Chain A
Amino acid sequence: MNPNFLCSPSPAHTLKAINFSVPVHCEDLKNYSCEKRVFKPNISNSTVSLNECLNLDGHGEVCVPLRQLSFSTGHIDESNEESSLFLEGSAYNSVEVSCANRLVLHNNKVLFSAEAESIGEALSRSIEKCREGGSLL
């Protein structure tokens, strides 16, 4: 067995070590950022950093850092693939959004993140996961 595994702290240990507190760590929207991954046939590969502002239930208008990664699927030969994969919302014609709390890290990875189809939904879910983090203690 890998001895490093035995020494790796649990999420609960991490939360105790940082004195995890829902108001401090979860409720401040400055602790969050989002990533949007766009897969479309008619775009170029690119990465841009934005500041996305939106109305979020319970928080009013908030702005979060957003990194948008665009992946072109135009190189994929449709004749060799199921046509349904290119329909809106399918693997080669879709948008994925993830938001995460950047303040709480465990083994240098975010502990509270969520994926959804929209930034607002992903952000709300990641906040909710953070709030539920107290149960890990």
Chain B
Amino acid sequence: MRTLLFSLLPLLFAQFAFAHARLKSDGNLPPRDNNPGLKTAPCGGVIATTDLSYFVRGSQITIQWEETIQHPGRYEFNISFDGEVTWQNLGTIVDTQDDPGTLPHQYEATFTLPDQTCTQCTIQMIQVMTEDPQNPRNYYSCADVSIVNSAADLPAPEPDPDPPVVNDPDDQGTQSLPSTCAVE
């Protein structure tokens, strides 16, 4: 399960996942598929999954993405509530990093979600490449999301599978004990 907890991960330690441009797999909005170079609208021909990211309606979400091959252009973010038939624009971000020597280019932006819920809907990122302004070319990266009514409706975060070590000064023989272990 994916939650906004991912937003707490410092970008400094994020693993770089290379693509022409795509949503970051370790960001707040992991992509439906990590395969880059998805050119078919609306989502690169990748069908929806049940791996959802949860958000609250009307809230602000911060989305991370990256560009690993330099293209001029912009990034358009859209959301569909009707099975990818119609789209609402969440915002457009101009590609401002043009130095091929600093690839991959890391991007992050905050958008406001519509005041509308959905059990499952789609957020789409389009990289619009404008080397030829009259004939721009696109790459697509989509994520499956669920938008709930309030924070109380967000699913509980999954337990940490690798809890921190607990140092017990009275027990010299045990370094750590996962909370799910039964002690006999």
| B69 and A100 contacting across the interface, CB-CB below 8 Å | no
| B18 and A80 contacting across the interface, CB-CB below 8 Å | yes
CB within 8 Å of A: which B123-153 residues: 131-137
**Interface residue B80 (Cβ < 8 Å from any Cβ of A):** no
9-residue interface stretch from A10-18, A23-31, A53-61, A68-76: A68-76
Closest beta carbon of chain A to B155's beta carbon, Å: 29
Interface size class of B (residues with CB under 8 A): 20 to 34
| B19 and A110 contacting across the interface, CB-CB below 8 Å | no
Report the bound CA distance from A18 to B138 in whole Å: 28
Residues of B contacting A39 in the complex (Cβ-Cβ under 8 angstroms): 69
**Please, what's the 1-or-0 string for B81-102, where 1 marks a CB less than 8 Å from any CB in chain A?**
0000000000000000000100
Report the bound CA distance from A11 to B87 in whole Å: 20
| A69 and B100 contacting across the interface, CB-CB below 8 Å | no
Closest beta carbon of chain A to B116's beta carbon, Å: 17
Known contacts A71-B69, A76-B68; can you find 8 more A-B pairs with CB under 8 A? Answer: A39-B69, A67-B132, A69-B131, A92-B18, A92-B37, A102-B134, A105-B134, A108-B133
Q: How many A-B residue pairs have CB under 8 A?
A: 58
**Interface residue B15 (Cβ < 8 Å from any Cβ of A):** yes
**Interface residue B42 (Cβ < 8 Å from any Cβ of A):** no
- Give the size of the chain A interface in residues (CB under 8 angstroms): 30
Report the bound CA distance from A77 to B68 in whole Å: 10
Contact surface of B with A, Cβ cutoff 8 Å: 15-20, 34-37, 39, 68-70, 100, 103, 131-137
What 7 A-B pairs have minimum CB-CB distances, sorted nearest first?
A91-B37, A91-B36, A81-B18, A110-B135, A76-B18, A100-B135, A71-B69
Report the bound CA distance from A92 to B34 in whole Å: 13
Closest beta carbon of chain A to B15's beta carbon, Å: 7
Report the bound CA distance from A50 to B100 in whole Å: 24
Report the bound CA distance from A113 to B39 in whole Å: 14
B134's contact among A77, A91, A92, A100, by CB below 8 Å, is which? Answer: A100
| B100 and A90 contacting across the interface, CB-CB below 8 Å | no
| B36 and A113 contacting across the interface, CB-CB below 8 Å | no
| A94 and B37 contacting across the interface, CB-CB below 8 Å | yes
CB within 8 Å of B: which A35-64 residues: 35, 37, 39, 45, 47
Residues of A contacting B18 in the complex (Cβ-Cβ under 8 angstroms): 76-77, 80-81, 85, 92
| A35 and B69 contacting across the interface, CB-CB below 8 Å | no
Closest beta carbon of chain B to A96's beta carbon, Å: 8
Residues of A contacting B37 in the complex (Cβ-Cβ under 8 angstroms): 85, 90-92, 94
